Amino acid sequence: MNKITIIALALGLIFNVQAQQKSKNLSDVFKADWLIGSWERKDDKGKVVKTVTFGWKIKDVLMFKESKSSTGEIGSFSLISLEKKTNDVLYHSFHSDGYASVGKLKTIGNEVLRTAEWSTTKLTAKEMEVMAETYSGEQLAAGKIKKEELKKFKTQVMQDLKNRKTSGTNAFIWKKSEDDKMVSTQVFKNDSGNYVETKDSWSEISTRVQ
């Protein structure tokens, strides 16, 4: 065996080892085994309003997240996978109303940051008029506004619809608070580029199904 052959074999072995070291599965990158299982969210009366289940479709490779309503209907279904080239954890979400989004997941201790880019078409003047009329009527019927406030309220709703963004980023943090509790909190990106809670944030608490 000549020197050239030996060098070629050595280089081949080195590249093979490096390739194996770089090749990771989802379970190697996404350290959030605590999510696995079902989680229930209840209303103030103790009634289950939503059940979310995390599990493996392909062990160590592909996870799923399924959300069901109190009637058992599937509201959304998501697939969680690993982008091998970047080691990004991708989150593909599909909703019963036809909405779909692609985002990313990142683990930070006992927290998972979920971000998703979204976009929508701008409403037409007619669509905004119908939405403002419908919503104002509902608020009036529910006694949340008075009849004399209706015109002003509808005008404000129209203005809000005109100013509504058509694209952006949704972000949530799923946090393991106790062995059987998970807190989901909406967060927003600050000037430093970090996702934090603000006055507009809201949270939901779910309990693990035993």
In tens digits, the chain (210 residues) has pLDDT values of 555 555 544 445 444 544 445 578 999 999 999 999 999 999 889 999 999 999 999 999 999 999 999 999 999 999 999 999 999 999 999 988 787 889 999 998 899 999 987 777 788 999 999 999 999 999 999 898 999 999 999 999 999 999 888 777 889 999 999 879 999 999 998 889 889 999 989 999 999 998
Rounded CA-CA distance 186/202 in Å is: 6
Q: Indicate the class that CATH gives domain 25-120+166-204.
A: mainly beta
Q: What is the pLDDT of residue 19?
A: 44
Concatenate the DSSP letters of all residues of 101-157 into one string: EEEEEEEETTEEEEEEEEE-PPPPHHHHHHHHHHHHHHHHHTTSS-GGGHHHHHHHH
Closest C-alpha among 100, 99, 114, 105 to residue 81: 105
63: helix, strand or coil: strand
Rounded CA-CA distance 92/114 in Å is: 11
Rounded CA-CA distance 161/27 in Å is: 42
Rounded CA-CA distance 52/208 in Å is: 9
Q: What is the 3-state secondary structure of 10-54?
A: HHHHHHHHHHHHHCCCHHHHCCCHHHCEEEEEECCCCCEEEEEEE
179: helix, strand or coil: coil
Tokens of 154: 């509808």
- Reported pTM: 0.69
